[in-house]
Amino acid sequence: MRDARGFCHRHSWGLVRRGAAFGAAIVMRDVVRTLQRTLADARFRNMPLLSLTRVQETLDAQQPRSSTAEAVAALGPQTPCPVCVFEGDVEGALVANFLENLQREGGLLPAYRASDGFCLSYVRQILARVSGEAAFQMIVEAQQAIWTRLEQQLSELIRKSDYRYGDEAVGRRAPPGCVRLPP
């Protein structure tokens, strides 16, 4: 936790819940003490007046300064957020399980195809782990069918936003939701 400088922004919000204040305070006090020590050790590095870096930095006010780069890096996470690491491991196992199931007879392919599919992040994670062309084609075909439906719904919504069709009802049946794993 010290090396990670606490949780990432997204997972820090997990600490904000009733009854979690005491544990969160202990952990965060430790992180803050680490930051205090790190900041106490931070030094401003004087760059030679006529160095190329100094000239470039003078010309570009947006460019991070070399003089404080070490302090900035030391205050940043030295290791990834522990929850992100755990999440990555779990997601990796689930994606591997999904890929294995997809190619089985009676597997998840029909449910996947009929669902609203995965978010783009998961589509990319799944494709990153596909090793066979058959599985690759299966996923591409199913995801294309899902995105075709989505594109049609968006087009329909845009069409109905036109004042000439303003009295047509907007919406469709409840979405089938995410892929459900069989029990």
Binding site for Zn ion (CB under 5 A): 8, 11, 81, 83-84
Closest approach of Zn ion to the CB of residue 180, in Å: 26
- CB-nearest residue to Zn ion: 81
Angstrom distance (rounded) from CA 90 to CA 94: 6
Angstrom distance (rounded) from CA 94 to CA 158: 36
Least separation in angstroms between CB 10 and Zn ion: 5
Cβ distance to Zn ion smaller for residue 5 or 112 = 5
Tokens of 117: 């599919």
- Which helix (H) or strand (E) segment holds residue 179: the answer is none
Phi and psi torsions of 23, nearest 5°: -60, -45
Residue 8 vs 47, nearer CB to Zn ion: 8
For residue 182, give the nearest of 107, 132, 90, 113 by alpha carbon.
107
Closest-CA residue to 142 (of 99, 110, 179): 110
Q: How far is the CB of 135 from Zn ion (least distance, A)?
A: 29
Compare residues 84 and 127 and give the one whose CB is closer to Zn ion.
Answer: 84
CB of 15 to Zn ion, least distance (A): 11
Per-position b or e across 129-141, b if 16+ CB within 10 A of its CB: ebeeeebeebbee
- In angstroms, give the least distance from the CB of 1 to Zn ion: 12
- Looking at the Cβ atoms of 7 and 112, the one nearer to Zn ion is 7
Output 66 or 122, the one with its CB closest to Zn ion.
Answer: 122
CA 122 to chain centre: 9
